[in-house]
Structure formats: C-alpha cells, structure tokens
Structure 1
Amino acid sequence: MPPHNPAKTDNILVLGAGELGMAVLRELAARSAASITVMLRPSTLYSVSADKHQTLLELQALGIEVLPGDAVNDSEDQLAAMFSGFDTLVSCLGFVAGAGTQLKLARAALQSDVKRYVPWQFGVDYDVIGRGSPQDLFDEQLDVRQLLRNQSRVQWLIISTGMFTSFLFEPSFGVVDLSQNTVRALGSWDTAVTVTTPEDIGRLTASILFEPTLVNQVVYTAGDTLTYRQLADTVDRLLDRTVERVEWTVPALKADLVAAPSDPARKYRAVFAQGKGVAWDKARTYNAERQIETTTVAQWIEQHLL
C-alpha cells in the first residue's frame, strides 16, 4: 500500500545537467512553482568550455540554483549533507559516472533528510532482466532497487523509459547505420525495443513528480515500442530507400562480447538482443493512460533525418 502522506515537492535537487538532466530541468522550471537546484561538479562551474558556459547561462535564465558537488569524489557523508534540506532528489547521473556511483548516491540519499529519491534508472526493466546479464553494470541497478525497497523512510520512484530514441540511430551502436544503408536486428526481426526521447522523459518526469498517488513504484513510459522489422520498414518508407537487413543473433552477439568483454556497445547489444525487460506495451504506459503525446520513431526520423 502506498503511503498516505506523499512527499512534498517544494524543493527539488537534480543531479547532473547532461542531455537528460537538462531536459528534466527545463520541464521542472517550466511547470513548477517549486525551487529547483542542480548539483554540478566544481570543474564544470569553472570550465572554459563554451558548451558548459552555455549550460550555466541557460540554468541562470531558467532561475535554477547551482550547488557544487561531485558524485564520484565526494564522500557519502558529504553528499548526504548536500541532499538534506531538499524534498525530492532526482538523479540524472548515468553509468558514465562509473561503477559504484549509483549505490553510493542511493546510500547518501537514504542517509540524508531527503523525503523522496528518483534514482537514475531511466532505461530498461532491471527486475525482468535479472542478475548476471551481459551488461554487468545492471546488477548495481538491482542493488539500488533492493536498497530502496528494504527501507520505509524515504519514498522512491523509478521511471522506466527504455532506450533513448536517438541511440537506435547511433552509428557506433550499429542498429540503424545509414552510411552503410543497413538496419541490423538485435536478436531477431521480431525482437521489440521501447524507446523514449530525452525531451519526452523530461516532460513525463516533471509530470510524474507531481502526481501524489505515484509512490514507491516503477512507472513505465514509452515514446514508442516496435520490433526491429517495424524499424527497418519505417526507415525504408520515410527515407525512401531499401536498406540492407542484417540479423545479429544472440549467440553471435555473445561471441562478440567474449572477444571484447569490456566493450560497452557489445554489452548493450547482447542485452537488448535477448529481448527481456527492454520492451513493454506502450498502451499500458503512464503517458498513454493519460493521453500524453510522445515522439514515435517515425516522428523522430521526420524531425532529425528529413
């Protein structure tokens, strides 16, 4: 049973201002009367990078406060002290922060006075995938879930979004490779994948945070859910071409991973090829049930490739 006293959302701290973090921050600033703060590494605040300077200018224009903090180098005690005083903590710091960071942030959140924690689990359904998957970082995500479920002081929400839509078209990932006029199926042509754009994740996260009935649960979103056959058909139709279709089977992708066990792209391909926990029915998602429009793969192609 969800608690009858949902956490307040008067004072929100977002960790990170990368692609996903900025999408969440923009939407929170646009729709919220709450105070919004973002934690950024001190090196970002004093960087001479034009991109980072532009990010800081945008945060200032949005009225978002900046809190210096380093998820990797600061201790759990230091992070807990920073998190205290905020009602809701949303982590947009992904796997690039390194192994152990997700657990460290979760422990710091539970040690702090924060009322609610939204960990960085904007991706697949780790419960369904289970332990020991080809992507070894996923086990840590299950550790985070176990930590949150085994306590009752801090409320939590997990938002499952599937893969970033753009990742399907990332040449290094190898699914849609337009330079080679090729679409590759991970697992089989009937294997499905759920995808959502960062912009939609930002909008939906901002909406989910202000729904008091959503407490201590996994919330599913989807921009689109489609098979690799449907993906190839969509690319052919919208780009007026006939792509070469190549099937990457699970055994072949596992063999690729054995040959280069530390290659992140090979880990992800092997996980998605297995088809477990990487796709769910869009009709049963948070956004579909509330009739919130999200960007389909076809719309993404029209916006970015035409």
Structure 2
Amino acid sequence: MAVSPEPARGTDAARESRRGAKRIPRRAAAGRRSFTSTLKALDALAASGAQVSVRIDDLDRGSAVLVGDDFLSLPIAGLGVVPLLVEVAAQFEAGTLDPLEIVDRAGLEPVTVSGLWQHLKAPALPLSDIAVLAASAGDALAANALLSRVGLPAVRGRVEQLGLSRSALMDSFRDVRGPDDAPHVALGSTREYAQLFASLVNSEAVSPGVSAQVAEWLSRDHDLSLVGTSTGLDPFAHDNDEHGLLFINKTGRAPGIRTEAGVLAGPRAGVAYALFVCFDDLSIAHRLRAHDAFRTLGVELMEYVF
C-alpha cells in the first residue's frame, strides 16, 4: 500500500497565525499526532495479501492527513447505501417522494443477509422509517425497498452529481448472487467517500437540508464495532454526546470485505475518514486482523481530535 504523508504545514502555520491565537493550540496539538500504529497494521494486512485503501482529511484545514491507495475502486458492501440515502433525502425535499408513503415488504424479493425489518411483525412501513432502518441497522431489505422506489438510474445520476467518478451502486442486496447479477452491491474509493462524508457535515451534499437529513440518519448507526469502538459511545444513542464528540459513520460488511467511512470531531480537530479492506476470509484470525486495523485507526483518530 502506497502511503502519502501529511503535507508540510509551513503555509498553514502562517495562515493560522493570521487568523488569531485561538486557532494555534488546536493546530499544534493536531500536528503532534501521527498514525504510525495504523500504518503498521495496514502494511501487515497488505503484506498478507489484503487490498487496503485509506483516506483521512482534516475538516478544518481541508487537507489530507493520511492517504494510502485512496484512488482504488473496491467493493464496499453496505456502505454503498449512502448515495441511495442522499437520493431519497433529495426526493423528499423536492416533493417527488412522500416520506409517509407506505411500502409493503411482501412486494419485495426476500433477503436475509442483514437487518431488522425481516424480524418485525409490521409488514409495511413509511419510507422515512425505512430510511432509518437502512442507515442505522444496515437493513438490506429496507435498502432494497428504497432502491425499488427511487430506481437505480436515479441513484447513478445522483452519484455522478456528487462527483463520485470511482464509486457506484451496482445492484440491490441479494442472498445469493448468480452469474447474471452484478458481482457486488457497490464499489467505491476511500478518497470519494471521505469527501462525501465531509460534504454531509459541511452542508454541501445537494443542499443544507438534504445534508442534514442524511447526517441525522447516519448518526443513528448502531455499528460501532470497527472504528467506532474507540469512541466509547453508546451504539444505540450517540447523537448528543455529553463530551462534545461528533461521530457519524456507515460500515459495509460482506465475506472478505470490511469498509467504513465517517466523520469524527472533537474539541481540537475534526476529520473525515474512510478505510476499506478486502481480505481472504479464511479463518477467524484473518477476520480479526482486519478488524484490529479499524480499531487501531479509531484510537489514533481519537488522539487526533482530542
């Protein structure tokens, strides 16, 4: 994995001096932090044959902190629903889609790979609740319901509008992929997904209203088992942290695939990040080694923002 170090800070330091003394401690603190342990973990994964891609951007400075093969388009599993959520929120805002429209799951092809709706008694839900399930619980059936309602061409158009040239939502979720199906749900690059999450928190994804809606859905994500482990947040209630920590994320999981992108912000800094790992899922040890790399990144991200 080719890794580019953080850019030199000479010009940044001069700009910060002009902005005022209140900004200097934050930059100085952030500048002392590194991602040495993360690099070691990712290098070990790459040496074992895994495909690894990582991108971390400082939200305040608008510059890259860590870059490693961030241009690669890799399979990202459930993380690919984020552009779908953007399209749904955009149609809600435009009035072309009713948030209270009821969708009955009986009209959908059954899929059991992940999620809660398949286990609920309610056979039909409004689109707004379905979006919450897709964002917070990685619900494959809910994501398929949204996709069936807005259509894959609309999502592909939104992906293009968002400037995601190396990313694509390719198909719905399926229990079994046949020879005529797309090989993966979605592809993406860490560069584009870090930038997408940055645009969400900066109110730049389609519109401030759409950005806020998608960020709200993602702030309910229950999967804090990878990067989120190091935040110490409650997986089921972390949208208003008493210590001022902002964390929104989305993960993707499939056999041999672990991906995550998000935003983490604390009192000293804020970052948008993405880490994708594709590995041979030959044993629990192989899987745990991939998970450990995400958790190592989480620790060093916390050090950076605090």
Q: TM-score, normalised on structure 1?
A: 0.25
TM-score normalized by structure 2?
0.25
